[in-house]
Amino acid sequence: MPDSVLHVEDIHKSFGALKASDGISLDLYPGEIHALIGPNGAGKSTLIKQIAGGLKPDAGRVRFLGRDVTGLTTAQRAHAGLGRTFQISALAMQFTVLQNVVLGAVGQSGLVFRFFRNAMKDEALVSRAREALRRVGLAELENSITAELSHGQRRQLEVAVALTLSPKAFLMDEPMAGMGAEGSRVLTDFLQELKKEAPILLVEHDMDAVFALADRISVLVYGKIIATGSVDQIRADAQVREAYLGEEEEEAL
């Protein structure tokens, strides 16, 4: 096994009596898409927040590229190379599409405290931003106001902003949500390409997408990972079927 890019080690997090993370460990290896699935309230979002920063685990650590990042802020983790997209689009809605991506390029450049240079006329920032837009297929919309985009386009824009950071790993929270079948397929193809650059930890509800995309799947139930394995292993796992996939989805398998 190669060294893991992202290593979550025995994470615990409780809110009162609720154990949202109850000893979670998982690894993300180079070149893979590792999908995290689980029913609502399983603690997926809590886990994502602890990996991305913004929520501190009660116990356990998060290692990224061999470095302990448990005590770092969201911004510091982003700088270390963790690219994140959100379940509910976290974009500056009144900005144009290009401005949102340039903001990503500003963060990547580390040159935020430049007061007298026009950001939207800075060749390095803008070309980096345009390249990211082109890759996700939003190049033509660069002058649109973000609030006017469809849900699917916002998802693409989220990915584009993450791309400007040239991350070493992606953390994607339901990137397919709200997308049509066509958009979903385009993004699926794109993520297959993207994982060669940097591995992706993917939280996703869309089972078709998960089974089509994931190299490995971890199933989270009540704050515990009950199974990790390949698509076939997860499909065959009796515990998983019982706990999560249930009757109605059995047909889909």
Partner 1 sequence: MLRERYLNLIILAILVIIPLWAWVSDEPFTITLVTRAVILALAGVGLNLALGQGGLVSFGHAAYFGIGGYAMGILASHAQNYDPIIEVPFLIEGTNSMPIIWLVAVIAGALSALVIGALSLRTTGVYFIMVTLAFGQMLYYFAISWPAYGGEDGLSIYVRNQFPGVNTLDPMQFFVVCFVILCVVLFLVDRINKSPFGLALDGAHQQEERVQTVGINVYRLRLVAFVISGAITALAGALFADLNRFVSPVMFSWHFSGEIIVFIILGGVARLFGPVVGACLFILLEHILGDLSDYWHIYLGAILLFVVLFAKGGILGFLSKKEVPHAG
Q: Site size for partner 1, by CB under 8 A?
A: 43
Identify the residue among 75, 127, 180, 242 touching partner 1 (CB under 8 A).
75
Distance (Å, whole) CA 10 – CA 82: 20
Distance (Å, whole) CA 55 – CA 62: 12
156 and 177 in contact (C-beta within 8 Å)? no
* Cα atoms in the Cβ-side hemisphere of radius 13 Å centred on 192: 11
Determine, following the binding rule CB under 8 A, whether residue 18 of this chain makes contact with partner 1. Answer: no
Determine, following the binding rule CB under 8 A, whether residue 2 of this chain makes contact with partner 1. Answer: no
Identify the residue among 149, 161, 203, 225 touching partner 1 (CB under 8 A).
161
Determine, following the binding rule CB under 8 A, whether residue 127 of this chain makes contact with partner 1. Answer: no
Determine, following the binding rule CB under 8 A, whether residue 117 of this chain makes contact with partner 1. Answer: yes
Determine, following the binding rule CB under 8 A, whether residue 54 of this chain makes contact with partner 1. Answer: yes
Crossing angle (nearest 10°) for helices 151-164 and 123-136? 130
Determine, following the binding rule CB under 8 A, whether residue 125 of this chain makes contact with partner 1. Answer: yes
Determine, following the binding rule CB under 8 A, whether residue 91 of this chain makes contact with partner 1. Answer: yes
Determine, following the binding rule CB under 8 A, whether residue 156 of this chain makes contact with partner 1. Answer: no
Q: Which is nearer to partner 1, 120 or 253 (CB)?
A: 120
Determine, following the binding rule CB under 8 A, whether residue 129 of this chain makes contact with partner 1. Answer: no
Crossing angle (nearest 10°) for helices 151-164 and 181-197? 10
Distance (Å, whole) CA 44 – CA 5: 19
Task: Quickly tell me which residue has 């997308």 as its tokens.
Answer: 179
DSSP state of 243: I
Identify the residue among 23, 39, 60, 107 touching partner 1 (CB under 8 A).
107
Identify the residue among 12, 79, 235, 241 touching partner 1 (CB under 8 A).
79
Identify the residue among 97, 106, 169, 213 touching partner 1 (CB under 8 A).
106
Least CB distance from residue 111 to partner 1, whole Å? Answer: 6
Q: Which is nearer to partner 1, 104 or 223 (CB)?
A: 104
* 51 CB neighbour count, 10 Å cutoff: 27
Task: Quickly tell me which residue has 């993300």 as its tokens.
Answer: 28
Determine, following the binding rule CB under 8 A, whether residue 65 of this chain makes contact with partner 1. Answer: no
Pull the structure tokens for residue 158. 């989220």
125 and 70 in contact (C-beta within 8 Å)? no
Residues of this chain that interact with partner 1 (CB under 8 A) are: 52-54, 73-76, 78-79, 84, 86, 90-96, 99-100, 102-104, 106-120, 122, 125, 161, 164-165
